[in-house]
Amino acid sequence: MTPPVRTTRLSARDTLSEALAGILRRPGRAVLTALGTVLGVGSFVAVLGLTATLSSRIDGRFNLLTATEVSVQDVAAEHDEFAGPAFPADAEQRLRQVAGIAHAGVLWTVRLDPGTAVGSLPTGAGAGAAEGGAGGGGTAVVAASPGAVAALAPTLRQGRLYDEFAERTHQRVAVLGSGVADRLGITTLATRPVVHIGQEPFTVAGIIADVERRPEHLLSVLVPRATAEELWGPPGPASASLLIDTELGAARQVAGLVPLALRPDHPEYLKAVPPPDPRVLRSGVTSDLSALFLLLAGICLVIGAVGIANTTLVAVLERTGEIGLRRALGARGRHVWAQFLTESAALGALGGLVGTALGELTVVGVSLVRDWTPVIHPATVAAAPLAGLLTGLLAGLHPAWRAARIEPAEALRR
């Protein structure tokens, strides 16, 4: 049977305009109601934005220099205590066949006999520690192949670096770090100065002003690897390392190839340390730093939802007369339900918009003060008002249901 009277309707546009009228005619109340959502969504945006900003900061610190450095450790002793030095004597020749390497070389700190020191005059056996110790204590002697010296990316103050020829012919030459040169009082190479390591004289070929990698070597005396091996023997277990300066972007591939290229028989004797993967770095930061804050923002949103639910429920009770009137004017329960739900959702969405704006202002403000570049993911900005809308929608479910259930006769009696 068809109803004898056309049922009443409430168009979507009318629902929206009634809901907006309900909000806009009471702006003070609307602000208070939406405050929780504003805070919740605002802290969401601020946390996500600040996390993104911080991640981009770490990307900045993760610069060209670290991105092109691979160091290979000698871990042979962990696998076989009688393995001997893991790096073959012709390591640098073999590495020339690996693509993506700019400079590479083996270096280690030489273990000198007790009493042997670095100084202008011979020390050690015969001269006595007390006499010769004046110039030397604490100065490290580092055996470094020419490739390793180049991989340090040094800046020369005077002279030059030693080359392959010096290495091949076991020359007694040394390159001094600026700290050592200052301590030994060597200011010019014009006088052909000589330093003594123990009893051995070394001609100073050059003085390094600065290095971009391994700055501790500014306090070292660098000597050719072959010379050091001839005088003091091979490096002790686990003391040698290989420093590689790679082409940009090749570091991770190089790190994978080098152990095989150098020790195809025992690649496990070598441990290549590539630069950290920036993506891993970022996600690590995101999970550590923001999990707690996101939780707090979520709690804020829940409080916001409870706030909207509470105020809407109070409003429903307050507006019982209005509800009764609307029912008398032909509104069905579902029309009342839709109106209150839309009102609550619109409040949530407005709160979400304001919260998004405040969150972005926070990120920009903090970035301004700390001199950072503010970074906010577009998805964050798009999703935040939707989160507000959803909050309002959920919060409005119960009050709207209550409003729809109010008996019109009861409501109009008041």
Partner 1 sequence: MTAPVIEFRGVGLTYPGPPAVAALRPCDLRVPRGEFVTVVGPSGSGKSTFLNVAGLLDSPTCGRYLLDGIDTAALPDRSRAALRGRRIGFVFQAFHLLPHRSALENVTLAMLYTEVPRKERLVRAREVLAQVGLAHRADAVPGRLSGGERQRVAIARALVGRPSLLLCDEPTGNLDSANAASVLALLDELHGAGMTVVVITHDPGVAARGHRTVTLHDGRLRA
Provide the minimum distance between the beta carbon of 281 and partner 1 in the complex, in angstroms, as a whole number.
Answer: 55
Cβ atoms of 403 and 336 closer than 8 Å: yes
Residues 15 to 54 in contact with partner 1, rule: CB under 8 A: 18, 21, 25-26
Binding status of residue 61 toward partner 1 by CB under 8 A: no
Q: 285 or 412: whose CB is closer to partner 1?
A: 412
Q: 250 or 411: whose CB is closer to partner 1?
A: 411
Work out which of 260, 273, 291, 409 binds partner 1, going by CB under 8 A.
409
Binding mask 278-317 for partner 1 (x = CB under 8 A): ----------------------------------------
Provide the minimum distance between the beta carbon of 1 and partner 1 in the complex, in angstroms, as a whole number.
Answer: 8
Provide the minimum distance between the beta carbon of 308 and partner 1 in the complex, in angstroms, as a whole number.
Answer: 20
Provide the minimum distance between the beta carbon of 402 and partner 1 in the complex, in angstroms, as a whole number.
Answer: 17
Work out which of 61, 192, 279, 414 binds partner 1, going by CB under 8 A.
414
Residues 310 to 349 in contact with partner 1, rule: CB under 8 A: 321-322, 324-333, 335
Q: 30 or 106: whose CB is closer to partner 1?
A: 30
Work out which of 132, 193, 359, 408 binds partner 1, going by CB under 8 A.
408
Q: 41 or 404: whose CB is closer to partner 1?
A: 404
Q: 161 or 331: whose CB is closer to partner 1?
A: 331
SS3 per-residue string spanning the chain: CCCCCCCCCCCHHHHHHHHHHHHHCCHHHHHHHHHHHHHHHHHHHHHHHHHHHHHHHHHHHCCHHHHCEEEEEECHHHHCCCCCCCCCCCHHHHHCCCCCEEEEEEEEECCCCCCCCEECCCCCCCCCHHHHHHHHCCCEEEEECHHHHHHCCEEEEEECCCCHHHHHCCCCEEEEEHHHHHHHCCCCCCCCCEEEECCEEEEEEEEEEEECCCHHHHHEEEECHHHHHHHHCCCCCCCCEEEEEECCCCHHHHHHHHHHHHCCCCHHHEEEECCCCHHHHHHHHHHHHHHHHHHHHHHHHHHHHHHHHHHHHHHHHHCHHHHHHHHHCCCCHHHHHHHHHHHHHHHHHHHHHHHHHHHHHHHHHHHHHHCCCCCCCHHHHHHHHHHHHHHHHHHHHHHHHHHHHCCHHHHHCC
Provide the minimum distance between the beta carbon of 414 and partner 1 in the complex, in angstroms, as a whole number.
Answer: 8
- Total of chain residues touching partner 1, rule CB under 8 A: 32
Provide the minimum distance between the beta carbon of 17 and partner 1 in the complex, in angstroms, as a whole number.
Answer: 9
Count the Cβ atoms, other than its own, within 10 Å of residue 321. Answer: 12
Provide the minimum distance between the beta carbon of 23 and partner 1 in the complex, in angstroms, as a whole number.
Answer: 11
Provide the minimum distance between the beta carbon of 11 and partner 1 in the complex, in angstroms, as a whole number.
Answer: 8
Residues 348 to 387 in contact with partner 1, rule: CB under 8 A: none
Q: 21 or 291: whose CB is closer to partner 1?
A: 21
For 139, what's the count of Cα atoms within 13 Å in the CB-facing half-sphere? 29
Provide the minimum distance between the beta carbon of 326 and partner 1 in the complex, in angstroms, as a whole number.
Answer: 8
Work out which of 156, 226, 397, 412 binds partner 1, going by CB under 8 A.
412
- The region that residue 249 occupies, defined by phi over 0 for left and psi between -120 and 50 for alpha, beta otherwise, is left
- Contact positions vs partner 1 (CB under 8 A): 3-10, 13-14, 18, 21, 25-26, 321-322, 324-333, 335, 408-409, 412-414
